[in-house]
Chain A
């Protein structure tokens, strides 16, 4: 247990004592206690920056299940550190914000902070684990705690729906990730990511490589809300706003991004990876930005915008994989894509976090998030407006904010695709910049909607429940810090480049030397094609935004049909309905049907086995000669058995059944089994008397007429089938005796060893006495059961008759 382990475990430990703190100090908002931890962790992780800057990696190990090769290996490199800083940094701001956002009196704060801390710890575990199984455990922990946080207001139906949806989708991805991990461990014979990366060259040729790639990507795509698994994210907006800001913009949705980035060195050599990641990212980017425009709820716009920005980062990571296909790193344009991805990841966390907090403030102060009701808040909430402007302009990619830089780098990478001459990129590659450009126009439009609709225009006080005023300063601190970061990163991007981005990019593409791509970050000025694209985006976007009222109506009628939610809802309902109807059809409650299926399965499985293995043999060598008496007794039994089928009264059936039993005891006599014959005789008598007793007590209902068994073809066929199968198996088993019987041992030793001459009895009480022991136990249970059934009738007292 190192300090690093303690750092990851600390949120879990604090979560343990949060309820006590909540109960003990009711006057103090619980969030204040919680706030200490992420700040401590943030400063702790800051200390790693000088180390990772030099390319050092810090590794710590603790044993968990060493026999299975599962160790809790944590390691800090540039990529892990970047995420750890995001998690703890934004975590601190979100906790501070939530202190002012959530009411001390009305909310169950203990639950909120326990869930939030669980999430924080799980997220740290995901980004710092080297062992894939440990990573998976934390991964599912994030799904679970996110489920709890989305459903925090569990009295609301929409919250429960959103929580269920997100859990179903992310756990589907989580399980497929587990499959991918297992395949990876089979291929590389290790769970360690670094060891897998070290042998990535051999893994490429393994047959399991493609399935593992697909499964891992499915996990990453569901978690990061990529198309078509993005549908859970807008519904997760039912969570409290601090949760949306933290989980659904800055951290959890980036877990998938992290996974793709982390496993890039393992998979990126494959063209499938490049195509899947970049195309999925682009589709998500386009679809998310397109869907964001038609939303009227602020948080829904931000949710779709998150989806689209995640798609952007994902597509950049996909293109970054192309870097591995070029030897000359010096002029490698595709490393720039990875740099852009990492840079935009940081930028997105800052501006999206602040925008969510702005949305929360508007909701908190006006009581609504509907942009149709909001307007003219600029005068009432000037500070909030300023933050919103900074965040939204950065999101739209306007200078001088950080979004502008990363958007430029993004467009540059997309343009560079045209020069990529691998995997048929030269033919379809032209789509990349086009999609990117169109999506950026959409992004511009919804960014303007976010900032202009609520804050400009006419102030409609009558539509609002409360009288809006500026938020308390405590609530504003976190978004102000984030907005300041947006500006600082925008003006001084090189603050980040050497300290954080470079080590992170080395984490994603470890084959690169540290100083080769240094220039790309520093180089961000010049009259490049992407600058003209940005000018085009602003011009077209501005025109489209101004004409928005004209075409938004037609937009709103279109997308409902195309929504994937309909598919999800119908799919879920169809699944429930079809399984219900299947169960209804299979589980009829009729014993007759169940017996029929049991026997059918018996016939089919055994019959198929006999046929498939060609198992039937008939060998008459061991057959004994058939005696005269045996023929007669067999004849009696067959005749009696058939007669039972056609007996009209039950009494007759019982008597004939008795006849069968006595005939069998005759068989025992003929086959020289006196003990069996004796027992069979007595038992048959007892059971026939019991049958008569049952028969005597059958209720005499008018409907219960004594009649012959009705004939059903199904039943006849199944019973004949069972008979035939059993006969075939018996014949073949008799013909295939591989070994002699052990009975000779008993015959020889019954007197010598056990001092008895009745071999049957010696076997029963001596050689195999334990069987007898438990058979008499069975009898005892039966007797007590009958006693209990008859004596302990609870209904007796109520029914005097």
Chain B
């Protein structure tokens, strides 16, 4: 008997986006308010897990055709390049740089290389969580 989980699926469709937005918000706000790449990544994967629960692996893979193992690699690459980037400018490893610029519409904001590093963390965390859950879920 096929279970009818219409309510779950409908709520998920809305809730997943809210969670994703929240995740992106705490990721981007990490430098100023609680949050950052780690929690952001975990929340993002929570959204995907919710999709997995409401639908199934195949459907979710069709929506998000991502190999999460590559995501781990990409995240590590971004982070390590950011760490190594300082060497190009003759400063020690892991030296960050930031600057405030005025952007139309967004106003006075800062651009910080720490965000790039955090992006790496974010991608690794999403990749790791999803790899684990997907692998365990697929195994019989």
Contacts and interface: CB of A to CB of B under 8 A. Distances in A.
Interface of A: 674-675, 678-679, 682-683, 686, 693, 754-758, 760-762, 764-766, 769-770, 772-773, 776-777, 779-780, 782-784, 786-787, 790-791
A678 B29 CA distance: 14
A716 B119 CA distance: 47
A766 B96 contact: yes
Contacts of A791: 135, 139
B110 A755 contact: yes
Given A765-B117, A766-B114, A772-B121, A758 B35 contact: yes
Contact of B94 (A762, A770, A777, A787): A770
A786 B131 contact: yes
A679 B114 contact: no
B30 to A, nearest CB: 5
B81 to A, nearest CB: 11
13 contacts: A679-B38, A682-B39, A755-B31, A756-B32, A758-B32, A762-B31, A765-B37, A780-B72, A783-B127, A783-B128, A784-B69, A786-B132, A786-B135
Contacts of A756: 31-32, 112, 114
Contacts of B110: 755
Given A770-B83, A786-B131, A790-B135, A757 B72 contact: no
> What 3 pairs across the A-B complex have the smallest Cβ distances?
A674-B34, A756-B31, A783-B128
A766 B127 CA distance: 22
A533 B31 CA distance: 105
Contacts of B128: 779-780, 782-783
Interface size bracket, B side: 35 or more
A780 B128 CA distance: 6
A675 B34 contact: yes
Interface string B8-48: 00000000000000000010001111111111001100100
B131 A765 contact: no
A761 B132 contact: no
Contacts of A770: 83, 93-94
B106 interface: no
Contacts of A772: 79, 117, 121
Nearest to B128: A783
B57 interface: no
A723 B27 CA distance: 38
Nearest to B98: A755
Nearest to B127: A783
A769 B36 contact: no
A758 B34 contact: yes
A758 B76 contact: no
A773 B136 contact: no
Given A758-B34, A762-B114, 10 more contacts: A679-B38, A754-B96, A756-B32, A764-B38, A776-B120, A780-B72, A780-B75, A780-B128, A786-B131, A790-B135
B61 interface: no
A693 to B, nearest CB: 6
Q: Which of A693, A772, A783, A784 has the most CB of B within 10 A?
A: A783
Contacts of A780: 72-73, 75-76, 124, 127-128
Interface of B: 26, 30-39, 42-43, 46, 69, 72-73, 75-76, 79-80, 83, 93-94, 96, 98, 110, 112, 114, 117-118, 120-121, 124-125, 127-129, 131-132, 135-136, 139
A683 B34 CA distance: 16
A751 to B, nearest CB: 9
Contacts of B36: 675, 758, 760-761, 764-765
Contacts of B37: 765
Contacts of B135: 786-787, 790-791
A97 B109 CA distance: 97
A678 B35 contact: yes
Given A773-B79, A783-B127, A790-B139, A754 B34 contact: no
Contacts of A783: 69, 72, 127-129, 131-132
A757 B32 CA distance: 4
B37 to A, nearest CB: 7
Nearest to B29: A758
Given A769-B83, A773-B80, A773-B83, A758 B125 contact: no
Contact of A761 (B31, B75, B80, B94): B31
Contacts of B35: 675, 678, 758, 761
A754 B72 contact: no
A767 B27 CA distance: 18
A765 to B, nearest CB: 5
Contacts of B26: 678
B46 A682 contact: yes
Nearest to A777: B76
Contact of B121 (A675, A758, A760, A765): A765
B39 A679 contact: yes
Interface hub of B31, B75, B79, B118 (most chain A Cβ within 10 A)? B31
Nearest to B111: A755
A769 B129 contact: no
B83 A776 contact: no
A81 B69 CA distance: 75
A784 B37 CA distance: 20
Nearest to A788: B135
Contacts of A693: 136
Contacts of B42: 679, 682-683, 686
Given A755-B98, A766-B96, A761 B136 contact: no
Nearest to A750: B31
B30 A761 contact: yes
Contacts of A786: 131-132, 135-136
A313 to B, nearest CB: 70
A675 B32 contact: no
Nearest to A756: B31
Nearest to A683: B42
Contacts of A765: 30-31, 36-37, 96, 114, 117-118, 121
